[in-house]
């Protein structure tokens, strides 16, 4: 087990390096001048431009810039935004919003997704099953921003149940609607996954045996089937936790939540290299760790799988 973890972590290093370098190159190497960009239509005197280029290492060759950046990273320095704020601070602050949003969405996926899936699985072939299957298909197909706008229109504006956008109302009020929208895709997926897995397991011999013994259907499901059925669901939910954190750009965009996704989108447009690379590094790291956690959990849940 220990060796497995170490091997996986070692594998993650080249992936992290390659990803950050790729992003770094794309943000930095192309023509254009972020300092002049910040100034917009204002003149920037050459002397000031030269100084700011020096300060943000913009004149160094790409590889040197990247090396300096990596050096800083090892000492915990994520670089500085062009407004002079440490990128680490920006990430720390924005992260709170994204984590809240991600966990809220994840909660919906776990609770609603599994509940709907179990319900549909137990009612296989009846109207509830058809309804859930149909609804989840539609949710999977409709782009998230359309789901988001419909939710804003109906639940936010017409019914007035939730703030339409912005994070000022705090958790949970401001996060329920975006959380649901962010969760919609995964929720539908979890429901279908749970249903499919449950239906398959209910056909297994041990269930028939339990049935034959006269155990109630519910006890059969809870006592025997659910644990086995949930293995693929847990796998998905684990990866999903990473994905949800990994920048809910679109959801934060339409709901105006000041999270990581919003920040990174803004920074890309501003060509603010250090921020983009800092956030991307953090996101990829989260993603890699989530995948690792899933693999480990998978081994615990399913005794047939052993990591050596």
Partner 1 sequence: MTSPHPPGPTGDLLLPAADTDAPPQAPPASLSRDAWQQLRARPVVWACLAVIALIGLTAAAPGLFTALFTDDDGRCELARSKLGPTTGHPFGYDLQGCDYLAQVVRGSRPSLLAGVAVTAGALLVSVVLGLLAGFYGGWVDSLLSRATEVAFGLPFVLGATVILVAFPRHGLGAMTLVLVALGWSTMTRVMRSQVIAVKDADYVRAARMTGARPSRLMLRHVLPNAVTPVVVVAMLNVGNVISGEATLDFLGVGLQYPAVSWGLQLNTAQSYFLDHPHLLAFPALFLSATVLSFILLGDAVRDAYDPKLR
Partner 2 sequence: MHTPRHRPSPARPWSAPAVATALVLALSACGGTADGGGNSADQGPGTPGGTYTVALTEPNHLTPGQTTDSYAIQVIEGLFDTPVTLDPKDGHVLPLAAVSVESTDQRVWTVKLRPDGVFHNGEKVTAQSFADAWNAAAYGPNGWESNYYFAQIQGYADLNPGKDQQPKADKLSGLEVVDDTTLKVTLSSPFSQFPMMLAFTAFAPLPRAAFTDPKAFDAHPIGNGPFQMDGDWAHDQQIALKKAPSYAGSRKPMADGVTFKIFTSKDTAFTELQAGNVDVMTTVPAARAPEAKRSFGDRYSVRPSGTMDYLGLPLWDPRFKDPDLRRALSMAIDRPGVTRAIYNGVFQPADSIVAPMIPGHRDGACGEACTYDPAKAKALFDKAGGFSGPLELYFSNSDPTYEQWMTAVANQLKQNLGIQDVTFKKMASADLGPILNKRQGTGPYRQNWVIDYPSMQNYLDGLYNPDNRMGWSAPQFDALVARGNAAKDAADGLAAYQQAEDLALREMPLIPLWNWQDQSAWSDKVGHVLIDPYVTGLHLDQVTVRH
Task: Please give the residue ranges that form the binding site for partner 2 (CB under 8 A).
Answer: 30-34, 36-48, 50-52, 55, 83-85, 89, 93, 149, 152-153, 156-157, 160-169, 173, 253-256, 258, 262, 265-266, 269-271
Identify what 22 binds: partner 1, partner 2, none; CB under 5 to 8 Å per kind. partner 1
Q: Is 182 buried (19+), middle (13-18) or exposed (0-12) by CB count in 10 A?
A: buried
Q: Does 27 bind partner 1 (CB under 8 A)?
A: yes
Tokens of 213: 């013994």
C-alpha torsion sign, points 100, 106, 110, 111: positive
Identify what 38 binds: partner 2, partner 1, none; CB under 5 to 8 Å per kind. partner 2
Distances (CA, A) of 232 to 49, 106, 125, 191, 196: 55, 16, 22, 12, 10
Position among 1, 5, 6, 18 found at the interface with partner 1 (CB under 8 A): 18
Q: Which residues contact 119 (CB under 8 A, 6 or more apart)?
A: 128, 132
Contact mark string toward partner 1, 128..167, x via CB under 8 A: ---------xx-xxxxxxx--x---x---x----------
Buried b or exposed e, range 106-115, using 16+ CB within 10 angstroms: bebbbebbbe
Cβ atoms within 10 Å of 17's Cβ, excluding its own:
13
Residues that bind partner 1 (CB under 8 A): 11, 14-15, 18-19, 22-23, 26-27, 30, 137-138, 140-146, 149, 153, 157, 182, 184-186, 189, 192-193, 196-197, 200, 231-232, 235-236, 240, 243-251, 253-254, 261, 264-265, 268-269, 271, 276, 280, 283-284, 287-288
């Amino acid at each position: 087990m220990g060796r497995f973890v170490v091997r996986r972590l070692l594998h993650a290093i080249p992936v992290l390096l390659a990803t950050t370098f790729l992003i770094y190159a794309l943000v930095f190497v192309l023509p254009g001048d972020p300092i002049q960009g910040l100034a917009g239509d204002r003149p920037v005197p050459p002397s000031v431009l030269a100084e700011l280029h020096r300060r943000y290492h913009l004149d160094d060759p790409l590889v040197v810039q990247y090396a300096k950046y990596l050096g800083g990273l090892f000492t915990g320095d994520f670089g500085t935004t062009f407004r002079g704020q440490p990128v680490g601070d920006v990430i720390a602050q924005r992260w709170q919003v994204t984590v809240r949003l991600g966990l809220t969405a994840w909660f919906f996926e776990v609770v609603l997704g599994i509940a709907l899936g179990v319900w549909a699985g137990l009612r296989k072939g009846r109207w509830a099953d058809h309804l859930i299957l149909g609804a989840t298909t539609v949710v999977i197909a409709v782009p998230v921003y359309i789901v988001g706008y419909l939710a804003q229109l109906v639940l936010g504006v017409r019914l007035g149940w939730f703030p339409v956008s912005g994070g000022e109302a705090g958790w949970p009020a401001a996060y329920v609607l975006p959380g649901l929208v962010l969760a919609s895709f995964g929720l539908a997926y979890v429901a279908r996954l749970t249903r499919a897995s449950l239906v398959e397991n209910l056909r297994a011999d041990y269930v028939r045996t339990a049935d034959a013994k006269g155990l109630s259907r519910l006890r059969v499901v809870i006592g025997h089937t659910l644990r086995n059925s949930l293995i693929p669901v847990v796998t998905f939910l684990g990866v999903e936790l990473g994905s949800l954190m990994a920048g809910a750009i679109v959801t934060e965009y339409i709901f105006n939540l000041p999270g990581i996704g919003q920040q990174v989108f803004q920074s890309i447009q501003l060509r603010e290299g250090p921020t983009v690379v800092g956030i991307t590094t953090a996101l990829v790291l989260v993603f890699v760790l989530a995948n690792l956690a899933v693999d480990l959990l998978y081994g615990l849940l399913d005794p047939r799988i052993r990591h050596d």
